[in-house]
Amino acid sequence: MLRILTYGLLYKLRVNEIVLNKVDDHDNSSFGIAIYYVGHFAMRYFKMFFQTDCHSYNNAQNFLSECSSFLSKSFRMKTYFLFLIVAILSVQCTLPAKQSTKVKFTISFTKEMIESAQDGRLLLLLATNEKTEPRFQISNGLSAQLVFGIDVEDMKPGEEISFDESAFGFPKQSISDIPEGEYFIQALINRYETFNLKTGHTVKLPPDQGEGQQWHSKPGNFYSKPIKINIDPTKEQEVSLVMDQKIPPVEEPKDTKYIKHIKIQSKLLTEFWGKPMFLGAHVLIPEGFYEHKEAHYPLMIFHGHFPDDFGGFSETPPDATMDTTDYTERFGIYGYKKFEAQEAYNFYKQWTSKNFPRFLIIEIQHANPYYDDSYAVNSANLGPYGDAIMQELVPEIEKQFRGIGEGWARFTYGGSTGGWEALAVQMFYPDEFNGCFAACPDPVDFRAYSLVDLYKDKNAYYYDSEFKKLPRPAHRNYLGQIQSTVEEDNHYELALGTKSRSGQQWDIWEAVYSPQGEDGYPKRIFDKVTGDIDPTVANYWKENYDLRYILERDWKTLGPKLEGKIHIYCGDMDNYYLNNAVYLMEDFLKKTNTPFYKGEVDYGDRAEHCWNGDHENPNYISRLRYNTMYLPRILKRIQESAPENADVKSWRY
């Protein structure tokens, strides 16, 4: 503090440089002038320092450069100043310093977990309640509890790893910021494996273990049982957490009469990742599949986040006495679980009814070391997932389950991530699909990357302004009320993992869209701490994954292959502002010619994420009906576009 005070005193002397310039080695008044100015500014700055935060005056380098010309005026002047500075430094600064916490946290794991050293992200988790374990209460929303993380390498059994103020946290950035109070505390390690990539890089990442890339429930991760503690940052306290629990394996789903499961080792992905990599799918087969052995079927790909089984289909109705006290905050209704169960049974009744069209529906499992799915495209960091799905998985499914196996008989749809995937695969494999139905897609134009223009904005976290510092929102409700900001979302992810390894939304966009960095991990689109955007990386995104830009750039060749195939839907109050990018996409599509796109872009009034084109029902209903709601348009498209002699009858029994 005393040094900072001195810097301020001498810095202000620069203002009076005109007077001091008159002083030379032969001026007997040097000492008097020095005393006058040092005394004058000492009084002024003592007053200021007792009214403001000492931390605001901490740039010694600026001080040195500003007053260097004054100190060089004369040897005598230097001598007088050194004397006076020593005198000033003898004064005691009484301003309180920010106190670091006296609570010490250490984490270890037992040899019963594993006897070898481990790499991973070590997490310290705290919650103010015991509704569930702390690991299940970590989020980026208003109910967020505390998480702090550090990277560990070669952590040995029994070795105690200390957490100090350097551990990055969310929503409190440092453990010194933990408020006094009662907490339930837990530790967990998200274990990494080493991958020797085809590119020659070696990276350490958390492999999917069948759970869909969820760190808090990943089989094989170690964790400690929650304990209750009282924290007082002003008192000495040591908290030791021992991870002696291991998350068990996921139980594989079983085949039923209508739902089958397939898993293949991908040659393309295995070659890229340097170890066996697999793709899977849940397949819903039509009524009469075994009786009509001559029939071949169209294929519908329902894209979306990781499915543990085929969802929304049940051969049995919900129990009449099923509990309906469950409350779904997202929709503000009670008894939603029973409603979902009833919708699943209703779909089964439709699926098996006499006049329902017969086709295959698949949900793909393509979780990877970065996320719960791959975005179904080729990527510098994830590898050739697009080609692996289209060249290895889809042909195998169509072979086993008698798919027609031609582009005119394939359609794709999905919402959110699945909406982006549906549009992207239709574009990147235009001859392999006959239509896409993209609901509330992830940003399809990076001029509206949520509320960030990656090509013009300098910072992703704050709006450009000379004097204000206004954060960009990331999540809202239909009334526009904000739940989180872009900075908060990304700091939450940074607490969970460095180098795009959090397994969360912004990091997977980066992993899919970015070029590979020199260290083998994705190049940052923006600094994760400050939000400063890298224009070079933004340009790479533009050329390779900005769907609107690519369509506009390549419309001459893509347009004829996509005519009548593009259908996009979004609520105009999408929680993640995804409608903004859809507006920009629509602006382009409406101006297309030779050919005109002949598709559809539609919006739901005041509809949140993820509106999918249903103007009659609320989102909590329509989100359960993807597999039937686009059928009339699909059947019409087949009728209009199927080539001559195509099989349009064998599956219409």
DSSP string, 434-463: S-EEEESPSPSSGGGBTTB-TTT-SBSSB-
Portions of the chain given CATH number 2.60.40: 103-246
Length, in residues, of the chain: 653
Per-residue tokens: 20:
């001091």
Query: Is residue 102 very low, low, confident or very high in pLDDT (cuts 50, 70, 90)?
Result: confident
Mean pLDDT score across all residues of the chain: 88
Give residue 314's pLDDT.
97
Report pLDDT digits (tens) over 109-122: 999 999 999 999 99
Instruction: Indicate the CATH number for domain 259-445+546-641.
Output: 3.40.50.1820
Kind and range of the H or E run holding 279: strand 278-284
Q: Can you name the residues that pair with 241 across neighbouring β-strands?
A: 107
Q: Judge whether 157 and 115 are in contact, CB under 8 Å.
A: yes
Closest-CA residue to 107 (of 92, 125, 128, 86): 125
Kind and range of the H or E run holding 38: helix 30-49
Contacts (Cβ under 8 Å, ≥6 apart) of 536:
none
Separation between Cα atoms, residue 171 and residue 146, nearest integer Å: 6
Confidence check: pLDDT of 75 > 90: no
Pairing mode of beta strands 161-163, 168-170: unpaired
Closest-CA residue to 407 (of 565, 288, 594, 556): 565
> Which range, of 15-19, 128-132, 421-425, 603-607, averages the lowest pLDDT?
15-19
Portions of the chain given CATH number 3.40.50.1820: 259-445+546-641
Separation between Cα atoms, residue 519 and residue 81, nearest integer Å: 50
Query: Is residue 329 very low, low, confident or very high in pLDDT (cuts 50, 70, 90)?
Result: confident
Separation between Cα atoms, residue 294 and residue 296, nearest integer Å: 7
Query: Is residue 337 very low, low, confident or very high in pLDDT (cuts 50, 70, 90)?
Result: very high
Confidence check: pLDDT of 565 > 70: yes
Report pLDDT digits (tens) over 130-185: 999 999 999 999 999 999 999 999 999 999 999 999 999 999 999 999 999 999 99
Give residue 320's pLDDT.
94
Average pLDDT value for residue range 439-458: 98
Report pLDDT digits (tens) over 184-222: 999 999 999 999 999 999 999 999 999 999 999 999 999
Instruction: Indicate the CATH number for domain 103-246.
Output: 2.60.40
Report pLDDT digits (tens) over 30-58: 444 444 444 444 444 333 333 333 333 33
Query: Is residue 79 very low, low, confident or very high in pLDDT (cuts 50, 70, 90)?
Result: very low
Q: Measured between alpha carbons, how far apart are the two ends of the chain, in Å?
A: 85
Give residue 90's pLDDT.
44
Q: Can you name the residues that pair with 532 across neighbouring β-strands?
A: 459
Q: What is the CA radius of gyration of the chain?
A: 31
Average pLDDT value for residue range 88-107: 62
DSSP-assigned states of every residue in 108-174:
EE-TTT-SS-EEEEEEEEEES--SS-GGGS--SSTT--EEEEEEEEEEPTTPPEEE-TTSEEESSSS
Phi-psi region of 158 (alpha: psi -120 to 50; beta: other; left: phi over 0): left
Phi, psi of 633 (to 5 degrees): -70, -35
Report pLDDT digits (tens) over 495-510: 999 999 999 999 999 9
Closest-CA residue to 623 (of 633, 634, 609, 637): 609
Closest-CA residue to 259 (of 177, 344, 187): 344
Give residue 99's pLDDT.
55
